Structure 1
Amino acid sequence: MKNVLVLGGGTGGTLAANLLARRLAKQIREGRASVMLLSDSTEHVFQPANLEVAFHGADPSKYVRKQQSLLKGNVKFLAEKAERISLQDRKVVTDTGREIDYEYVVIATGSVADPSLTPGLAESSYNFHTGPWNAAKIWNALNRFERGKVVLVIAGVPHKCPPAPTEAMFLLDDYFRKRGIREKVELTFLTPYPHAYPAKPIAEVVEPLLEKRNVNVMTFFNIDGVDPAKGRVYSMEGDEVGYDLLIAVPPHRGSPVAIASEIGDREGWIPADKHTMQVKDYDDAFAVGDATNIPISKSGVVAHLQAGIVAHNVASMVLGVDGLKRYNGRINCPLEVGGGKALFVSGTYTRPPSPMQPTRIRYWMKKSFASLYWQMLKGRLEPLFDLYFREENGDGS
Structure 2
Amino acid sequence: MAEKKKFLIVGGGAGGAILANSLVKDFDVTVINDSPYHYYWPQLLQIAFRNDYSNLYRSLSSLLVKGVNLVIDRVKKVDLQDRIVTLSNNKTMNYDYVAIAPGVTIEHKGIDGNEKLVEQYGDFHSTPQNASKVFDVVSNMKKGTFVIAVGDPYHRCPPSPYEGILLADEVFRLRGVRNDINMILAVPYPRAYPAETFNEVLEPILKERGINVMTFFTADKIDTENKKITSLEGEELSYDAAIVVPVHKGPKIEIKPDDAINQDGFINADKFTNQILKYDDAFAIGDASTSANAKTGVTAHLQAKVVSKRVLGLDARNTGRTNCPTELGFEKGTFVISDYNHPAAKVPANTINFIMKRLFADAYWDIIRHPEFWDPIFDVYFENTQPEVLWKLFR
TM-score, normalised via structure 1 length? 0.93
Query: 1:295/1:301 Cα in 2 relative to 1: closer, same or farther (>3 Å)?
Result: closer
The Cα offsets for residues 140-196 of structure 1, whole Å up to 9 and x where unpaired, read as: 222221111111011112110000001111111111000010001111111111111
Question: What is the number of equivalent residue pairs in this alignment?
Answer: 381
Q: What is the 5 A alignment of 1:349-360?
A: 349-360=340-351
Following TM superposition, by how much is the alpha carbon of 1:261 offset from its aligned partner in structure 2, in angstroms? 7.0
User: Are residue 234 (structure 1) and residue 237 (structure 2) matched?
Assistant: no
Report the counterpart of residue 5 of structure 1 in structure 2: 8
Q: Give the equivalent residue in structure 2 for 1:297.
A: 294
95, 99, 110: which one aligns with 1:117 = 110
Corresponding residue for residue 167 of structure 2: 171
Q: Which residues of structure 1 form unaligned runs of 5+? A: 25-32, 317-321
Tell me which residue corresponds to 2:280: 283
Q: Distance in 1 between matches of 2:255 and 2:243?
A: 27
Q: Map residues 358-397 of structure 1 onto 2, 5 A cutoff.
A: 358-378=349-369, 379=371, 380-393=373-386
Runs of 4+ more than 6 Å apart: 394-397
Using the alignment, how far apart are the partners of 1:258 and 1:280 within structure 2? 16
Report the Cα distance in structure 1 between the residues aligned to 2:82 and 2:256, rounded to whole angstroms: 16
In structure 2, what is the equivalent of residue 40 of structure 1? 34
SS at match of 2:69: strand
The one-letter code sitting in structure 2 at the alignment partner of 1:58 is: D
1:198, distance to aligned residue in structure 2 (A): 1.6
SS in 1 for 2:126: coil
Gaps of 5+ in 2: 391-395
Report the alpha carbon displacement of residue 223 of structure 1 after superposing the two structures with TM. Answer: 2.0
Residue 128 of structure 1: aligned partner:
124
Partners of 1:127 and 1:247 within 8 A in 2: yes
Structure 1 101/364 Cα, relative in aligned 2: closer, same or farther at 3 Å? same
User: Which residue identity lines up with residue 306 of structure 1 in the other structure?
Assistant: Q
Deviation digits for residues 207-252 of structure 1, max 9, x if unmatched? 1111111111001112220001000000122211111111111010
Per the alignment, residue 136 of structure 2 pairs with 140
CA-based RMSD: 1.7
Answer yes or no: is 1:18 the counterpart of 2:12: no
Task: Output aligned runs, 1:319-338, within 5 Å.
Answer: 322-338=313-329
Asked whether the 8 Å contact 1:36–1:76 carries over to 2, the reply is yes
Matches of 2:9 and 2:55, distance apart in 1: 26
Tell me: CA distance 1:394–1:152, structure 2 relative to 1, closer, same or farther (3 Å). Answer: closer
| Secondary structure in 2 matching 1:173 | helix
Cα distance between partner residues in 1 of 2:114 and 2:255: 23
Residue pair 2:342, 2:388 contacting (<8 A) in 1 also = no
Classify the secondary structure of the residue corresponding to 2:123.
coil
- Contact 2:81/2:257 (<8 A) preserved: no
- Tell me, what secondary structure is at the counterpart of 1:210? helix
Q: Is 1:56 equivalent to 2:50 in the alignment?
A: yes
The 8 Å contact of residues 190 and 218 in structure 1, kept in 2 or not, is answered as: yes
* Structure 2 counterpart of 1:319: none
Equivalent positions of 1:246-285 (< 5 A) are 246-258=242-254, 262=258, 263-285=260-282
- Aligned equivalent of 1:91, options 84, 91, 98: 84
Task: Verify the 8 A CA contact 1:85 1:261 in the aligned structure 2.
Answer: no
